[in-house]
Chain A
Amino acid sequence: MKYTKDHEWIKIEGEVATIGITEYAAEALGELVYVELPKIGNVYKKHDAFAVVESSKSASDVYIPVAGEVVAVNDALTSAPELVNNSTYQDGWIAKVKFSNASDLDEAMDEASYKKMLQAK
């Protein structure tokens, strides 16, 4: 698992990246009440806003950490957005993206570096 400075997590399987938001981000937002998912087939540049997570208080963009095409979205979040809070790294995934450039992942952090970044906050 990799992490970004924008608090997304990335799980790589072959050339597909599963993307979600980290526990830190989920906790900061509070319990989610709505997730706006991208459409399958949409193509994004790295760092494009590709999903929106909303808690009762605020809405936040989720930035895609790798350029590529959306190949799957987590429809379960439509009726149960709280999965992002309750099962952040499993059932709370947002989308799967077939990435076009593996080097996009170079700046993503491993768990230790991400934790270090949070501690420095």
Chain B
Amino acid sequence: MKTTKLNLVHRQQGAKMVEFAGYDMPVQYPDGMLKEHEWVRSGNIGLFDVSHMGQFIIEGKNVADFLSNITPTDFNLSTNFLAKYTVLTNENGGIIDDLIITKINDEKFFIVLNAGCKEKDAKWISQNLPTHLKFQELADRSLIAIQGENSAKIINNFLANGDVESINYMNLAIFNLKNSHEIFVSRTGYTGEDGFEISISNQDVEAFWLALCNNQNVKPIGLGARDSLRLEMGYPLYGHDLNDSTSPIEASIGWVVSKTNQNFIGCNRVLAEKANGANRKRMGVKLLDRGIAREGTEIKKDGKIVGTLTSGGFSPNLKISIGQGYFNPTEIKIGDMVVAVVRDREIPAQITSFVFVEPKTKSIKKSS
């Protein structure tokens, strides 16, 4: 099994390790998933090792044109250091992966994509890559997410100079650590809390992680709580809520399709669905009684199966089970009463937005 540079540190910190996307990863530390979830939600800081994710640089002349061809997003509109969430689409408009592509400058973009899709994505991008562009993995870098209010102050302690508070939501900035090594700091995350994701050299990551953990407001958080945190936000998880046959319109992330981008791989289906609607849409499901509905749970309305959960589990914030799945929008609307079938028990449930808990990311704070 593959490991991240922090594997031994996780074990020393008492993590329970599991296999995830071919990596030996911490699913929880001694506090357990629920307490870890609550820790991140209650004004503290959670530290996540996400070094299993793929980090790549793509560069060359007119690289934005190529990125606007392999995704529905128009990267010619990107400003320097803007981090865009988007998807790689196949010829059928299905999602190969969801990823974040950040513009460094006109000829250079930084890409972060899912661990489980790394080989598949690299193969797809290389296959389509014009010969004048260079695409390479940053295998010498680890990736750490620092999530929660006041993350900025703690990160600033490690910088040679500068203030990460100056970074806007979905933007990146480059700083130097006190040893003068460069780090990429993005104001992004998968928890819905204000926070950062830091791309740091493999040789610095252990000392950085341990020093962060010395702060009493910081705790390492495992993949278990990472999943419940993202589920409350309605963020899709590739391989569960998204796959090669799901289109971005079906997934209700149609905003990744730029109005100015009419020509990208898979555009026929995606643009048709954008104009006319899709046959199924990702929606939220909230149980109204006790019981846990997980991935695969059938959802019935008036005795008829209308959909299946693609993700589901207990929401520590709402103290009830939540999930997401795909439903026919002419048949199922937000607010509809349904039942979730769990081990032959029919639990009353309701179709909802897939955003179950208000995000506290920086841009939301500003607008409110």
Docked-complex contact A56 and B343, CB < 8 angstroms? no
Assess whether A56 is in contact with B34, with CB atoms less than 8 Å apart. Answer: yes
Q: How far is the CB of A70 from chain B (nearest CB, A)?
A: 17
The answer to whether B343 touches A52, judged by C-beta atoms less than 8 angstroms apart, is yes
Residues of B within 8 A of A31 (CB): 32-35
Q: Which residue of B27, B28, B37, B292 is within 8 Å of A54 (Cβ)?
A: B292
B33 proximity list for chain A (CB < 8 A): 30-31, 55-57
Q: Is there contact, CB below 8 Å, between B27 and A56?
A: no
Contact of B290 among A34, A56, A57, A59 (CB under 8 A): A34
Decide yes or no: A56 and B291 within 8 Å by CB, A31-B33, A33-B314 being known contacts.
no
Chain B residues near A57 (CB-CB < 8 A): 27-28, 33, 224, 313
Interface residues in B18-38 (C-beta closer than 8 Å to A): 27-28, 32-35, 37
List residues of chain B with CB within 8 A of the CB of A52: 343
Cα of A31 to Cα of B127 in the assembled complex, Å: 46
Nearest CB of chain B from residue A69's CB, rounded to whole Å: 21
Closest to B224 in A: A57
- The answer to whether A33 and B27 have CB atoms under 8 Å apart is no
CA distance A52 to B293 in the complex (A): 13
Query: How far is A34 from B312 in the complex, measured between Cα atoms in Å?
Result: 14
Closest residue of chain B to A57, judged by CB? B224
Asked whether, in the complex, the Cβ of A78 is within 8 Å of the Cβ of B313, the reply is no
Which residue of chain A has the shortest Cβ distance to B228 in the bound complex? Answer: A56
**Residue B254, interface by CB 8 Å:** no
Residues of B within 8 A of A36 (CB): 291, 343, 345
Which of B37, B228, B292, B316 makes the CB contact (< 8 A) with A34?
B292
Contact B292 A59 (CB under 8 A): yes
| Contact between B27 and A78, CB atoms less than 8 A apart | no
Q: Is B300 an interface residue (CB 8 A)?
A: no
The answer to whether B28 touches A33, judged by C-beta atoms less than 8 angstroms apart, is: no
Q: Is the CB of B32 within 8 A of A30?
A: yes
- A sample of 17 inter-chain contacts (CB < 8 A) reads A30-B32, A30-B33, A30-B34, A31-B32, A31-B33, A31-B34, A33-B314, A34-B290, A34-B291, A34-B314, A36-B343, A55-B33, A56-B34, A56-B228, A56-B313, A57-B313, A59-B292
Q: Which 7 A-B pairs give the minimum distances between C-beta atoms? A: A33-B314, A56-B33, A31-B34, A54-B292, A30-B32, A31-B32, A56-B314
